[in-house]
Amino acid sequence: MSTAIATIEAPFMSTGLPLFSGYDHKIADLSEEAIRFGRKEIELAEHEMPGLMALREEFAETKPLEGARIMGSLHMTIQTAVLMETLQDLGADIRWVSCNIFSTQDHAAAAAVAGRNNNGIPVFAWKGETLEEYWWCTLQALNWGDDVAPTLIVDDGGDATMLIHLGYEYEVKGERPDPSTADNEEEAVVLQILADVQDAKGLRYWHQFAEMVRGVSEETTTGVHRLYQRVEDKSLLFPAINVNDSVTKSKFDNVYGCRHSLVDAIMRATDVMISGKRAIVCGFGDVGKGSVDALRGQQAKISITEIDPICALQASMAGLDVITVEKALDDFDIFITATGNKDIITADHMMRMKHNAIVCNIGHFDNEIDMAGLEAMLDTGDVQKIEIKPQVHEWRFTNTTHGPNGGGHSIIILAEGRLVNLGCATGHPSLVMSASFTNQVLAQIDLQENAESIGMKVITLPKHLDEKVARLHLAKYGVELTKLTNDQASYIGVGQEGPYKPGHYRY
Ligand code: NAD
Ligand code: 3DD
């Protein structure tokens, strides 16, 4: 129970940073070299992000986001910097944080803060944040000064949306959040920051947010799941657009993005030979499918785990064995979680894995791998944590006997169980992120123009916009579409210019 009553200037937990800092940014490196490198990579990315560039051109005059204050909680990468500057070009006032403590690319943050024409964007993000710093950053980016809230949010995983809702709910109950009631370290940090905000601002701070925030567009599967849960329990405070389920997002980013970035991360982290090794991917959804393809590219011997018979059947017909994690423990070399669920790989599983098995997660949160269980074993001396390099750790078990010379075995955990492609590499490449982020910009425009008519629910973008996003990326591949004749259009019951599929069509 934190008894000290926080004030606006009081440092937040052990960050040494004032709760409401008034800073216009906080990043790792604003040197000329970081800015140069970031700006150069942004220029290269722009050439690979035709959808965003097209929207900049289409809306340069009308600036549909004029007057919008957009807070973004989305991995601070080079690709995200292009998204941010697109939103800015369309008239928005932006503040930004990363949605993961390891995913920031510091040179991208530097270029975003430096800006293009002295119009730098306030960014609060750096690679390797502590959890306390992460939530401090989120609080800073949510406040335009004088407690002015954003009008729109771009969220990835739902952390910004969750902070507002949880803070609001404590205000409604008139209750002071108690960190000692938390189930885990991160929840304790969240409850502490909410308690400190309540001490400093009283019981109306988050109520103002509920009034000022007009809507949120959510990037990823797990964040969308959290939104639908709030619709179900009638606790959603503002309208939401589910960007993840635009076909040109989840069937591209989640699949082909992971197909590119998973093995990139494993290779950068370990330099291990993947070819011929036994790898298991837990979850055969969009991310799992892309991850399997990545491993196929390296000729690994791949199995998957699944709960869903349809995905299991898909895997079987793709020539994959569908087994359980337990069946893989003795002789698999690489374990990857991609479920969006929790407790997929437990500490007990890891105690039984072969020596130097590699364990990583490409799902959004770090609860797919039981990191808390491993941390608890640190305290009891049953395991040692040895840093090989940032985001690559050997966890050496002290009491097992199947390691070298009959001693304890080790496993190699990447990105501390957080999403490995952004923790140990640079995430998806620009072209596939362009499709995702073109949907994000269209969603933000939709919210700016129509939020109040959406109501307290979660919607997806219409199919004609999905097709528009696809069209904007075809030239990159030299695609020549076939023209549908009027007669053919009538025959299959679609418009000559689309949409070409009914709403229930599964791509
Ligand atoms: P999805 O729902 O399409 O796939 C998840 C699959 O996991 C489903 O088929 C489900 O049946 C299966 N599953 C659930 N619980 C399981 C369990 N206990 N054991 C085995 N299988 C189980 O979701 P998705 O779009 O593939 O996303 C998966 C996760 O990856 C989400 O957290 C999402 O937010 C995240 N994601 C990460 C990136 C990235 O760049 N790292 C990109 C996109 C999405
Ligand atoms: N994600 C993967 N690579 C990314 C990149 N280069 N920039 C920003 C975000 C990136 C995560 C996305 O796939 C996000 O859409 C998700 O997690 O679903």
Reply yes or no on whether the pLDDT at 5 is more than 90. no
Closest CA to 364 of 24, 52, 74: 74
| Cα–Cα distance, 48 to 268 (Å, whole number) | 23
Residues with Cβ within 8 Å of 7's Cβ and at least 6 positions away in sequence, in order, are 19, 199, 200
Which amino acid is located at 436 in the chain? S
What the block records as the tokens of 143 is 């406040």
Task: Determine which helix (DSSP H) or strand (DSSP E) holds 253, and give its type and residue range.
Answer: none
Q: How far is CA 2 from the centre of its chain?
A: 31
Which protein residues are within 6 Å of ligand 1, measured from CB? 220-222, 250, 253-254, 257-258, 282-288, 305-308, 311, 338-341, 344, 362-364, 419, 421, 427-428
The response to whether residue 439 sits with its C-beta less than 6 Å from ligand 2 reads no
3-state secondary structure of 69: strand
The DSSP string of 83-121 is HHHHHHHTT-EEEEE-SSTT---HHHHHHHHH-SSS---
- Which of 140, 155, 154 has its CA nearest to residue 24? 140
Ligand 2, residues 98, 102, 434, 436: which to mutate, most atoms within 8 A of Cβ?
Answer: 436
Give mean pLDDT, residues 349-367: 97
pTM: 0.97
| Residue 75 Cβ < 6 Å to ligand 2 | yes
Alpha-carbon distance 83 to 437, whole Å? 6
Q: Residue with structure tokens 């959004």?
A: 364
SS3 state of residue 273? coil
* Identity of the amino acid at 251: K
Residue with the smallest CA separation from ligand 2 atom 9 is 75
Summarize the chain as % helix, strand, coil (round to 5): 45, 15, 40
Q: Tell me how far apart the alpha carbons of residues 399 and 113 are, in angstroms, rounded to a whole number.
A: 49
CA distance 22 to 7: 14
Nearest CA to ligand 1 atom 30: 363
d(CA 28, CA 33): 13
Per-residue pLDDT reduced to its tens digit, 205-221: 999 999 999 999 999 99
How many degrees, rounded to 5, is the angle at CA 39 between CA 158 and CA 159?
10
**Nearest 5°: CA angle at 276, between 275 and 278?**
110
Q: Which ligand is nearest to the CA of 440?
A: 2
| Ligand 1 closest atom vs CA 365 | 32
User: Which-ligand-closest: CA of 287?
Assistant: 1
Under 8 Å between Cβ of 411 and 395: yes
Burial class (CB in 10 A: 0-12, 13-18, 19+), 319: exposed
Task: Of 429, 432, 428, give the one whose Cα is nearest residue 473.
Answer: 432
Mutation pick for ligand 2 pocket among 87, 96, 156 (CB with most ligand atoms within 8 Å): 156
Residue closest by Cα to atom 19 of ligand 1: 306
* Ligand 1 atom nearest residue 308's Cα: 11
Q: What is the pLDDT of residue 399?
A: 97
Mean pLDDT score across all residues of the chain: 97
CA of residue 260 relative to chain centroid, distance: 16
Tell me the per-residue pLDDT of 15-44, one tens digit each, with 9 for 90 and over.
Answer: 999 999 999 999 999 999 999 999 999 999
Taking the CA of 284 as reference, the closest ligand is 1
Q: Which residues contact 253 (CB under 8 A, 6 or more apart)?
A: 428, 432, 433, 435, 436
| CA pair distance 94, 461, nearest whole angstrom | 22
Number of CB atoms found within 10 A of residue 272's CB: 14
**506 DSSP assignment:** -
3-class secondary-structure state, position 410: strand
**Whole-angstrom Cα distance, residue 331 to residue 334?**
10
* Mean pLDDT for the stretch of residues 368-378: 96
80 CB near ligand 2 (under 6 Å): yes
**Helix 159-173 / helix 185-201 crossing angle, nearest 10 deg:** 60
Closest residue by Cα to atom 31, ligand 1, is 340
- What is the C-alpha separation between 488 and 496, in angstroms, rounded? 8
pLDDT value of residue 2: 39
Considering Cα of 242, then 245, then 247, then 252, what sign does the dihedral take? positive
Residue owning the nearest CA to atom 32 of ligand 1: 340
| Beta pairing class for 152-155 and 69-73 | parallel
Q: Which atom of ligand 1 is found nearest the CA of 288?
A: 26
Measure 30 CA to ligand 1 centroid, in angstroms. 36
Residue 482 makes CB contacts below 8 A (sequence gap 6+) with: none
Does 244 have pLDDT greater than 90?
A: yes
pLDDT digits (tens, 9 = 90+) for 41-86: 999 999 999 999 999 999 999 999 999 999 999 999 999 999 999 9
Q: Which ligand is nearest to the CA of 367?
A: 1
**pLDDT at residue 9 above 80?**
no
pLDDT, residue 310, reads 98
**pLDDT digit string, tens, across residues 164-220:** 999 999 999 999 999 999 999 999 999 999 999 999 999 999 999 999 999 999 999
Distance, in Å, from the CA atom of 384 to the CA atom of 486, rounded to the nearest integer, reads 69
Q: 244 near 219, Cβ under 8 Å? A: yes
Ligand 1 atom nearest the C-alpha of 364 is 32
Report how far ligand 1's centroid is from the alpha carbon of 314 (Å): 15
pLDDT band at residue 118 using 50, 70 and 90 as cut-offs:
confident
Q: How far is the centre of ligand 1, averaged over its atoms, from the C-alpha of 183 (Å)?
A: 23
The ligand minimizing its distance to the Cα of 75 is 2
Helix crossing, 205-212 with 185-201: angle to 10°?
100
Note the pLDDT tens digit of each residue in 301-324: 999 999 999 999 999 999 999 999
Q: How far is the CA of 188 from the centre of ligand 2 (A)?
A: 27
At residue 412 the predicted structure's pLDDT band, cuts being 50, 70 and 90, is very high
Active site residues: 75, 98, 103, 156, 219, 244, 249, 253-254, 258, 364, 428, 436, 440
What is the token pair recorded at 492? 């299959």
Q: What angle do CA 215, 134, 249 make, to 5 degrees?
A: 45
- Cβ of 436 closer than 6 Å to ligand 2, yes or no, is yes
